[in-house]
A and B are shown apart, each in its own frame.
Chain A
Amino acid sequence: MNSAQSEVNTNFLQTPRKGLGSWIFSTDHKRIGILYLCSVLSFFLVGIALGLALRLELFSPGPTIVSAQTYNSLFTLHGVIMIFLFIIPGIPAILGNILLPLQLGAKDVSFPRLNLLSWWLYMTGAALALLSLFGGSGPPDTGWTFYVPFSAITTTNVSLAATAAFVLGFSSILTGLNFLTTIHRLRTPYMSWTQMPLFIWSLYATAWVQVLATPILGITLLLVVLERSLGLGLFDPGKGGDPLLFQHLFWIYSHPAVYIMILPGMGVISEIIPVFTRKHIFGYKAIVFSTLAIAFAGSLVWGHHMFASGMSDTAVFVFSLLTFIVAIPSAIKVFNWVATMYKGSVTLAPPMLFALSFIFLFSVGGLTGLVLGAPGPDIHVHDTHFVVGHFHYTMFGGTGFALFAALHFWLPKVFGRMYNHRVATGAWLILFTGFNILYGSMMIVGMQGMPRRYYDYLPEFTLGNQIATAGSWLLAVGILLMFGNLLRGCLRGEPVGDNPWGAATLEWTTSSPPPLENFIDEPEVTRGPYDFKGVNIS
C-alpha cells in the first residue's frame, strides 16, 4: 500500500515504469494527452510541408515543381491531414485530455482504457491515411471533401483514405463520449455547473457535436467505399441516387465539425484573457450560452456550403438565414473577450499575444464568412481562393492560434518548465505577419475569380499568388521557431512553480508537473475560475 501511495504522489512524468511501453499503454489522461501532443503536432508538420509544396507549385503559372496529378494528391492529403489528424483532434485530444480532469478536480477521465483506445484508433487512422499514399494507383486525388461522383470513379486509393477518416471519426466519437461522461460524473462535488471553467463548457458542447454528427460522416464514407467496391450507387443518378445527397450528408457532419474545431479554441481564449487581465471574464453566462447556441445552431447550417450546387432556393433561404443567426453568438463572444480587458491590468505575455491575435484573425475569418453566408455574393466567391483564405483565417488563425496560445499557457504546467519569452514573442510576430500575407492575398486572388484547387492559373493571378507563396515561407519560419522554442522550454527550460501565470482554475493548485492522480488531497473549490483576488504567481 505504501509503494502504491508513493507512486500516486510522484509526478506523472516520472513513474517507476520507464520506456515507450509506459507511454503507449498508459491509461493516465495526461500521458495520453502528451501522446496526442507528439502525434498531432508531427502530422501538423507533415501538413505544413505539403502546404508549402502547394504554395511553391503556385508560385508561377503552368507546371512549376510537380505534375497536375501530384498537385491534386498534395492538396487532398494536406486537407485530410490538417482536418482529420490535426485540427479536429488538436485542442480536445491534446489539451482536453490533459486538462479536463485537472480542471474538474478529478483523478482521470471516466473511461481511461477507452481513452487509450481512442489514441490507438487515431494512430490506426493516421497509419491508414499514410498507407493510402502508397500502393494501388497512387494517393487519393479527390480533395478532403471526397465529393461523388468523382470519388466513386477515380482509380486512386480513395477507399483507403475514406476508411482512415472513418476510423478517425470513431476515435473522435469515443473521445467525445468519454468527455461528456467525465463532465457529468466526475466533476468534483464542490463545483457547480456555473463554476466550471469556460474551457470545460466548450469541450462539453464540442463533445455533443462529436457524438451526434460524426456517425453521419462515417456512414457517408462507408457508402462511398461500397459504391467503389460493390457498385452500390446510392449517389449515382443512373441508379436512382442523387449526388447532392452526398453533399448533404457530408456537410451534415463537416459543418458541425467546423464547430468541433473552433469551440475548444474559443474555450482556450476564454481562459487566457481573464488571467492576463487579472479580471473576471465579462459575461460568463453569455459565453456559456453562446457556446451551446453555436453548437446547436451550427448543426443547422450545413447547406451554406451548397448554394451553388443546384440545391433548391427554399433551402438556400433557410440555410442562409440560420447562417447569419450563428454569427450572433460568435460576435457576442468576441465582444465579451474585448470587454474583459476593459479596466483590467494587461500583461502581454506570449499566451496573451496569441490570444489577442486569435481575436483579430478569427474576426477576419468570421466577418469574411458573412460574405459567404449571403447567397448572392457567395455565388461569386464560392469555390475560389477566397474561401480558402477565409477558411484558413477561421481554422488556422482561429483554432491554430488558440492551440498555440494554449500550448504557451499550459505546457509550463504540464512539464514544470518555462520556455524563452522573447523568442516566443519574436516567433509570434513572424508567424502573425506571414499568416496575414499568405491568406490575405489568397482572399484577394479569390475575389478576382481564381477558383480553388487549380494547378495552373491565368497570368492575371500571378502577383497575388507570388505574394502568398512568399508569406507561406515567413509563416513556416515562425512556426518552426515557435515549436523549437517550446520544445526546448519543455525539456530544458527554467523550472517554474505551480502557478506561473497566477490563474485561478483548479489545475494550477496542484504541483507542476501534476502527480499521477492529479491531486494529493481532494481539491476544494474555494474560488470561482476567474476570481483572481489573492491569487499569487508562484
Chain B
Amino acid sequence: MNADARNTIDKVDATFFYIFGISALMLLGITLCMVWFAYRYHHSRHPEPMSDSKGHPLIEIVWTIIPSLLVLSMFWYGWTSFTNLRDIPEDAFALKATARMWSWSFEYENGLTSDRLRVPTGQAIEVSIESLDVLHSFYLPAFRVKRDAVPGMTTRVWFRPEQDGEYNLFCAEYCGTGHSAMISVVEAMPQEAFDRWYNQKQMAQQALELMKKQGCLGCHSLDGAVSVGPTFQNFAGRERTLVLPDASKRTQLADRAYTRRSILEPRAELVEHLPAIMPSFQGRMSDEELEMIVDWLLAQRQEDQKPDGAKIFADKGCGGCHSFDGSKGLGPSLLGVFGHEARVQSEGALRTFIADEAYLRESILNPKAAVVEGYAPLMPEFSDLSTAELDALVEYLKGLKGEHRH
C-alpha cells in the first residue's frame, strides 16, 4: 500500500475536532459567564444595577472580529476537508452503484454485478452513483462519505478501506417505505481474495475456451443435455456412481483428486452406463491449463444451484411494497397472487384475466405495462434479473398460496 495514500477520514475528523473544540470552549465560556453573572449579580446580593452602560463600541468590535477570524478558519478547514473528499485519486478502482427503491446494486468494470460492495483493502475506490427512480444517498459512515443518487445525473464518491472487514452502507436520503431497509455492506478483503472473486468470470471464460479447443465440449454438454459423456452441469454438486476396472462400484462426489484423475486417466473409473471412449489428456495440456479446467469444473456448483426465490425477494427489496398477508402496501399483497383474477390498468383500459406465469414474469420485468387497479405505476423494472433468478422468483410467488385480496 502506498505510504502517503490519502483517505477520506483523517481530514474530516481533524476538522470535526477543531470545530468542536472551539465550540466547546465558547459554549463553556458563555455558560460560565451567564451562570456567574446570575449568581454574582443576583438581586439578593446586588439589589441595584451598578452600571448604566448601554454598550461599548470597542468591545463590540473585538467580539465581532475574533469570532469572524475563528469562523473563517473553520470555513477553511471545512473546505479543504471537502475538496479532499471530492478529489478522487487517479489510481482509484472504479465501479458503479445503482440505487433503486429499495436496494443497491454494484456493477464492476468487467461486468460483474453484486448486491454487496466487495472491494480490495488498501485501494482507493471510486464509486459512480446513479438512481433509477427517486433520490437516494450513498452513505458510508465509517469513511465519512455521502453523496446523493440523483435520477438523470451521475455523482461520484471515493474512499479507501484500510482494514479488512465489513462496513455499513446506508441510504441517507429519504426514499419511501423501505428507506431504512435500504442497507448494504462494503466488504473490504485482501487484494488476492478480491482478485479471485473479481476474476471469476474471466477465468471461467478462459477455461471454457480451453475446453472448446481441447474438444471437451464435443462430448460433454454444459446445460445438462445427455451426450456421449456426462454433462458438466452441476459437475461438483452431484454424486455419480463409478464403475472400477474390477467391476466394483462406488459413489463419488467430485473433488480435486477425482477431477484430475478423470481427465488424466479417464478409463480408470467410468461413470456407470457410459462407454470407455474418452482419451487420456495426459501430456496434451500443461499443468496450469489442467488446473484451470479443474477449477472451473469444481466451481460448477453454485452456478447450477437453483437461485433462492425467497432470497431474491428479500434482496431486491420487494417486501417494502408487497406483503404476504393480504395487507395493502404501496403495491398489492402477493398472497395467493398466482391464479387469482387480476384487474389491471393496461394501455388506458381496464382488463381482467387470470394471473398466470407469463403475467407474473411480465409484471416483474415490465411492471408499468399493466398496473393493478388502484395502485400507482411506481414499481421499477427488474430487468437485471437473470433467467434463472426470474424463474426462481416466479416459482416462489407461485408458492404463496392463500386467498388473494386486493
- Footprint of B on A, CB under 8 Å? 68-69, 72, 141-143, 147, 149-150, 153-155, 237-238, 242-244, 277-286, 307-310, 313, 316-317, 320-321, 324-325, 327-328, 331-332, 334-336, 338-339, 341-348, 356, 359-360, 363-364, 367-368, 370-371, 373-380, 382-384, 448-449, 451-458, 530, 532
Closest residue to A76 on the B side, CB-wise? B174
Q: Is B141's CB within 8 Å of the partner chain A?
A: yes
From the candidates A143, A367, A455, A532, name the one contacting B23 in the complex (CB within 8 A). Answer: A367
Residue of A at shortest CB range from B139?
A451
For the complex, what is the distance from the CA of A448 to the CA of B144, rounded to whole Å? 10
With A150-B175, A370-B74 in contact, is A345–B152 under 8 Å at CB? Answer: no
- 7 chain-A/chain-B pairs, Cβ below 8 angstroms: A142-B174, A277-B41, A317-B79, A376-B80, A378-B78, A380-B12, A383-B172
Residues of B within 8 A of A454 (CB): 179-180
Given known contacts A341-B34, A377-B78, is B151 in contact with A243 (CB within 8 Å)?
Answer: yes
- Chain A proximity mask over B125-159: 1 for CB below 8 Å, otherwise 0: 00000000111010101101111101111010000
Contact between chains at A383 and B72 (CB < 8 Å): no
Contacts of B152 in A (CB 8 A): 237-238, 242-243
Q: How far is the CA of A458 from the CA of B166 in the complex (A)?
A: 14
Interface string of B43-77 (1 = CB under 8 A from A): 10011111111111001100110011001101101
Q: Mark B243-287, 1 if CB is under 8 A from A, else 0.
A: 000000000000000000000000000000000000000000000
Query: Interface range on chain B: under 10, 10 to 19, 20 to 34, or 35 or more?
Result: 35 or more
**Contact status B85-A367, CB under 8 Å:** no
B171, CB-defined interface residue at 8 Å: yes
CB contacts (< 8 Å) of B170 on chain A: these are 449, 451
Q: How far is the CB of B129 from chain A (nearest CB, A)?
A: 9
Scan B157-200; emit 1 where CB is below 8 A from any A CB, else 0: 00000000000101111111111110100000000000000000
Q: A153-B134, A375-B82, A451-B172 are in contact. Are A309 and B150 (CB under 8 A)?
A: yes
Within the complex, the shortest CB–CB distance from B337 to chain A, in Å, comes to: 20
Contacts of A363 in B (CB 8 A): 26-27, 30-31
Task: Report the minimal beta-carbon distance from B10 to chain A, rounded to whole angstroms.
Answer: 11
Asked if B329 is an interface residue, CB under 8 A from chain A, the answer is yes
Contact between A279 and B52, CB atoms less than 8 A apart: yes
Are B79's CB and A153's CB within 8 A?
Answer: no
Asked if residues B41 and A321 are in contact (CB atoms below 8 Å), the reply is: no
The residue of chain B having its C-beta at the shortest distance from the C-beta of A281 within the complex is B54
The residue of chain B having its C-beta at the shortest distance from the C-beta of A366 within the complex is B23
Interface contact B180-A327, CB-CB below 8 Å? no
Contacts of A320 in B (CB 8 A): 75, 78-79, 82
B52 lies within 8 A of A367 (CB): no
On whether the beta carbons of B53 and A282 are closer than 8 Å, the reply is yes
Q: Are A356 and B38 in contact (CB under 8 A)?
A: yes
The segment out of B14-22, B105-113, B351-359 that lies at the interface is B14-22
Cα-based distance from A377 to B67 in the complex (angstroms): 20
Contacts of B78 in A (CB 8 A): 320, 373-378
What A residues does B173 contact at CB under 8 A? 147, 383
With both chains docked as a complex, state the minimum distance between the C-beta of B174 and any C-beta of chain A, in angstroms. 4
Q: Is the CB of B30 within 8 A of A359?
A: yes
Inter-chain contact A68/B12, CB cutoff 8 Å: no
A252 CB to nearest B CB, Å: 18
Min distance, Cβ A526 to any Cβ of chain B, angstroms: 17
Contacts of A332 in B (CB 8 A): 60, 63-64, 67
Cβ–Cβ contact A379 & B82, under 8 A: yes
| Closest residue of B by beta carbon distance from A352 | B38
Known contacts A367-B26, A448-B141; can you find 19 more A-B pairs with CB under 8 A?
A: A68-B177, A154-B376, A237-B151, A279-B49, A283-B56, A283-B60, A284-B55, A320-B75, A338-B30, A341-B41, A347-B42, A347-B43, A367-B23, A371-B20, A374-B79, A376-B84, A380-B145, A451-B139, A458-B183
User: With a CB–CB cut-off of 8 A, which chain B residues contact A382?
Assistant: 146, 172
User: Cβ of B168 and Cβ of A345 under 8 Å apart?
Assistant: no
Picked from B16, B135, B153, B155, the residue with its CB within 8 Å of the CB of A150 is B135
* Centre residue among A284, A317, A374 by max chain B CB count within 10 A: A374
Verify if B345 is at the interface (C-beta below 8 Å from A): no
Contact partner of A342 (CB less than 8 A), chosen from B37, B82, B151, is B37
Q: Which residue of A lies closest to B149 (CB)?
A: A310
Tell me which of A154, A346, A376, A377 contacts B176 (CB under 8 A).
A154
A310, B79: Cβ atoms closer than 8 Å: no
Within the complex, the shortest CB–CB distance from B197 to chain A, in Å, comes to: 25
Name the 6 nearest CB pairs between A and B, nearest first: A374-B78, A237-B152, A449-B141, A376-B81, A375-B82, A367-B23
Q: Could you list which residues of chain B lie within 8 angstroms of chain A, going by C-beta atoms?
A: 11-12, 15-16, 19-20, 23-24, 26-27, 30-31, 33-34, 37-38, 41-43, 46-56, 59-60, 63-64, 67-68, 71-72, 74-75, 77-86, 133-135, 137, 139, 141-142, 144-148, 150-153, 155, 168, 170-181, 183, 320, 329-330, 375-376, 378
Partner of A343, one of B51, B54, B181: B51
**Chain B neighbourhood of A343, CB < 8 A:** 41, 46, 49-51, 53
By the criterion CB–CB under 8 Å, are A143 and B81 in contact?
no
Report the bound CA distance from A149 to B34 in whole Å: 47
B41 touches A344 (CB 8 A): yes
Tell me whether B141 and A338 are in contact (CB under 8 A): no
**Residues in B neighbouring A316, C-beta threshold 8 A:** 79, 82
B176 to chain A: which residues have CB within 8 Å? 72, 141, 150, 154
Complex alpha-carbon distance, A155 and B378, angstroms: 9
Give the contacting residue for A359; candidates B34, B82, B153, B183; CB below 8 A.
Answer: B34
* Max count, chain A CB within 10 A of own CB: residue among B168, B172, B376: B172
Contact flag A328-B64 (CB < 8 Å), given A371-B16, A374-B74: yes
A455, B147: Cβ atoms closer than 8 Å? no
Given contacts A338-B34, A345-B47, are A284 and B54 in contact (CB under 8 A)?
yes
In the complex, the answer to whether B153 meets A283 with C-beta atoms within 8 Å is no
Knowing A141-B176, A310-B147, A359-B34 are in contact, say whether A377-B51 is a contact too (CB < 8 A): no
Give A242 Cβ to nearest chain B Cβ, in Å: 7
A500 to B271, CA, bound (A): 104
Instruction: Report B-chain residues with C-beta under 8 Å of the C-beta of A453.
Output: 174, 179-180
- Distance in Å: Cβ of A497 to nearest Cβ of chain B: 19
Contact present for B146 and A380 (CB under 8 Å): yes
Q: Is the CB of A374 within 8 A of B15?
A: yes
Contact: B79 with A376, CB < 8 Å? Answer: yes
Residues from chain B with Cβ under 8 Å of A310 in the complex:
147-148, 150, 153, 155
Cβ–Cβ contact B72 & A324, under 8 A: yes
Q: Which residue of A lies closest to B151 (CB)?
A: A237
A residues in contact with B82, CB < 8 Å: 307, 313, 316, 320, 374-376, 378-379
How many angstroms from the CA of A332 to the CA of B168 in the assembled complex? 41
A308 and B147 contact, CB distance less than 8 A: yes
Of the residues A149, A335, A455, contact of B180 by C-beta under 8 Å: A455
Nearest Cβ on chain B to A332's Cβ, whole angstroms:
6
Residues of A within 8 A of B26 (CB): 363, 367
